[in-house]
Chains A and B, each alone.
Chain A
Amino acid sequence: MRLTQGTFSYLPDLTDAQIRAQVEYCLMNGWAVSIEYTDDPHPRNAYWEMHGMPMFDLRDAAGVMQVVAECRGAFPDHYIKVNAFDATRGRESLQLSFIVNRPRDEQGFALLRTEGRGRNVEYTLRAYATQRPEGERYAVRARE
C-alpha cells in the first residue's frame, strides 16, 4: 500500500528540487520548517519523532535540504515528513506537511473488528509494522 498522509502523497514522490521549492514557499511565508520521522504510521499517531527542533531562525532552503538529507541518512526506512508551522495569531498550527521519505516496503494496516451487541462493531486499526519493536520495523523486514 501507499500511505497517503501528507499534502502531496497522491503525486509521484517529490524530487529534491520539488521539495526545495515547497520549502522556499514555506520560508517566504515566514513559517518555521521542521522534520519528523516515524516507523508508526497510524493515522492518529500525532507525535512523530522530532529530528531536531523546528528551524525557527533558518531562512535558507539549502539548510533545510541538508537536514532532510541527514534525516534520510539516519532513517532510510522510516517515514519522514517536512512540516511548516505558522505561529500567526489565530492559526498557530501547521500550514503544510508532506512526506519526503518512505520505507521501501510499506506494509499497511490491519483492521480489527470487535463485534458488539446488535450489529455494532468496534474498529481498531493496527499497522502491521508496529507488531515489532520501535526501530526494528521496516528496516528488519526489508533485510529479511
Chain B
Amino acid sequence: MSTQKAGAITDAKQRYRPGVLKYAQMGYWAPDYEPKDTDVLALFRITPQAGVDPVEAAAAVAGESSTATWTVVWTDRLTACDVYRAKAYRVDPVPGSPGQYFAYIAYDLDLFEPGSIANLTASIIGNVFGFKPLKALRLEDMRLPAAYVKTFDGPPTGIIAERERLDKFGRPLLGATVKPKLGLSGKSYGRVVYEALKGGLDFTKDDENINSQPFMHWRDRFLYCMEAVNRAQAATGEVKGTYLNVTAGTMEDMYERAELARELGSCIVMIDLVIGYTAIQSMSKWARRNDMVLHLHRAGHGTYTRQKNHGISFRVIAKWMRLAGVDHLHAGTVVGKLEGDPNSVQGFYNVLREPKNAVDLQRGLHFEQDWASLRRVMPVASGGIHAGQMHQLLHYLGEDVVLQFGGGTIGHPMGIAAGATANRVALEAMVLARNEGRDIWNEGPQILVDAAKHCAPLRSALDVWGDVSFDYTSTDTPDFVPTPTPA
C-alpha cells in the first residue's frame, strides 16, 4: 500500500504540539518495521468507512489497541513511547473482497501481563471494535511469541496424558451429549449416561446450559452420573467419563461443584466459554492441581466468530484457549449441522493439536506459531454427526479428536446402548480398514455395510441416517484458495 501519504512525524516539537494528528503521523504506521521474534503479532481484517484511507485505518487500530488516544498528549514524552506504540507494518487488500484490507500489527511483549488472557484481550480487542472510522473489524489471526507462550501453563492434561490415563489409543474417542438437554430428572439423566457408556462410548457430556435448574439440581446430576459411570466401567472394564458441567454464577459455586466431581471420582469436568477468560484460567489451575481433564464447550462463540467481516476468528479463540489451558475444545465437524468450512476447521484443529503451525493460508493460518512444548488440546467434533459419516470424519479430522454423536446415539431405534455400539463398531471398523491401507474415502460406505453384517445396531443406524447430510455453504471460509499447479 501507499506509504507516502501519512508518514510518522519525526520532529519532536511538531509531533507533540497539542492538537489532533492522524494516527499514521503519530507513529502507528511503520511500513519499514521488522517484527521482533518476541513481538505479539495480530492480523485484522479492516473495512474502513467510505473515504477513510486503509493505511490510516490500520494505524488507528494499532493506536487504539495500544497507547493512543484521539489527540496528542505530552505525557507520551515521559515514556519510551516508540516501544509501547503498536505498529501497523503491512496493509494488503483482501483477495476477492473489495473494500476490505488485511492489516498486520506488531505489539511489543512488554505491553502484556504474563499469563493473562484477560490482559491480552483487553488490549487487542478491548477498544477498537467500536471505532467509528471503521465499518467493521475482525481479528483474523495472532502470532504469540514463544517468550509469551511460556508464561502460560497451557492444558492441564493434554492429548498424550489424557490417552494414557484413559488407556485408549489409536482411534478417535467417542462421546455423546445427553438429550433432551433440559428437563430430565437426575435419575433419568443418569440412565442415558449409563446406557451410552455401557454400549461403547468413552464419554458422555452435559450440554452447555445444564447447570442447576429446578428439574435437576447439580448434586443430583453428579451423584446419578457417577453411579452410571462406575456401572459402565464395571460392565466393560474400560475407563469411562462424563463431562460434569461445573459452570455456575460464581467462582465459589464452580469450585464447590468441581470439588464434588473430584470426590466422586470423575476424571473430567466441563466449563462453558461464556464464564470468561479469567474463570477459565482459574478452572485450568484447579484441574491441574486435581488431575482432572478440563472440557470446554464453546458456548456463545458463534455470536462473534461466524461473520467474516466483523468479530474474532475462531482460530484466535482456539489459540487463546490453548494458552488459557483447556484439554478439550469444540472445534467443528465439517460434515455436521453447525458452521464449518473444511479448510477453516482443519486450521482450528492444527492450532489445537500441532507442536508448531506453519503459515497455511488455505487453512487460514497467516503466521508461524511455535507452541513451545505447550500441551495439545483435544478437539471435539459435535453437532449433527452420525455413524454413516465415519469415513469422512476420520478423513477430515484424524485420530486425536472426540467424535460426539448425541442424537446419533440417543435417537437410535434400538435404544441408547445400541446406538453407542453402532458408533463404536463403525469407528473401529474404519480405523482397522484405514490401517490396512484401504481407501476409506471411497470405500467407506462399503466398509460400514460390511461391518454391519456382524452388528445389527450399525445396520439399523445406517438405515435410519445413512443419507442424512448438511450441505450448506459456510460463511467463515479462508480468503486464499489454492491455485492448481502443474504437476
Contact = CB atoms under 8 A, between A and B. Distances in A.
Interface of A: 1, 3-5, 7-12, 14, 18, 21-22, 25, 41-44, 46, 84, 89-98, 108-111, 119-123, 125, 127
Given A11-B429, A43-B167, A120-B263, A125 B233 contact: yes
B425 A11 contact: yes
Interface string B388-425: 00000000000000000000000000000000010011
B238 A5 contact: yes
B428 A11 contact: yes
A95 B437 CA distance: 16
A10 B169 contact: no
Contact of B226 (A14, A89, A123): A123
Given A93-B163, A121-B223, A8 B428 contact: yes
Contacts of B219: 119
Contacts of B164: 46, 93-94
Contact of B230 (A22, A111, A119): A111
Contacts of B376: 90
Given A4-B238, A44-B167, A108-B234, 14 more contacts: A7-B170, A7-B428, A10-B421, A21-B435, A22-B435, A42-B237, A43-B237, A84-B170, A89-B355, A94-B164, A119-B219, A120-B264, A121-B227, A122-B265
A119 B227 CA distance: 11
Given A7-B431, A94-B163, A43 B239 contact: yes
Contacts of B234: 108-111, 125
B421 A41 contact: no
A7 B237 CA distance: 13
A21 B421 CA distance: 24
Contacts of A10: 200, 421, 424-425, 428, 455
A125 B436 CA distance: 36
Nearest to A97: B169
Given A11-B451, A46-B167, A111-B231, A25 B237 contact: no
A96 B169 CA distance: 5
B160 interface: yes
B236 A22 contact: no
A9 B163 CA distance: 17
B235 interface: yes
Contacts of A109: 233-235, 237
B171 interface: yes
B432 A11 contact: yes
B454 interface: yes
Interface residues of B, number: 41
20 contacts: A8-B428, A11-B429, A18-B436, A21-B435, A22-B436, A46-B167, A89-B355, A90-B160, A90-B355, A90-B373, A93-B164, A94-B164, A95-B169, A96-B169, A96-B170, A97-B170, A108-B235, A108-B237, A121-B227, A123-B265
A125 B236 CA distance: 11
A118 B226 CA distance: 15
Interface in B260-300: 263-265
B237 A1 contact: yes
Contacts of A95: 169-170
A98 B237 contact: no
A41 B454 CA distance: 26
Contact of A43 (B171, B200, B233, B435): B233
A7 B173 CA distance: 10
**Which 4 A-B pairs have CB atoms at the shortest separation, nearest pair first?**
A96-B170, A111-B234, A25-B435, A123-B230
Contacts of B239: 43-44
Nearest to B231: A111
B387 to A, nearest CB: 12
A121 B425 CA distance: 33
B167 A5 contact: yes
A72 B460 CA distance: 36
Given A11-B429, A93-B163, A98 B223 contact: no
A85 to B, nearest CB: 10
Nearest to B166: A43
A99 to B, nearest CB: 11
B118 to A, nearest CB: 29
Which of B236, B355, B425, B429 counts the most chain A CB atoms within 10 A? B236
A25 B223 contact: no
A18 B160 contact: no
B237 A3 contact: yes
A54 to B, nearest CB: 15
A88 to B, nearest CB: 10
Contact of B432 (A3, A22, A120): A22
Contacts of A96: 169-170, 435
Nearest to B223: A119
B226 A121 contact: yes
B160 A91 contact: yes
Contacts of A98: 170
A105 to B, nearest CB: 14
Contacts of B355: 89-90
Given A3-B236, A12-B454, A21 B227 contact: no
A85 B431 CA distance: 17
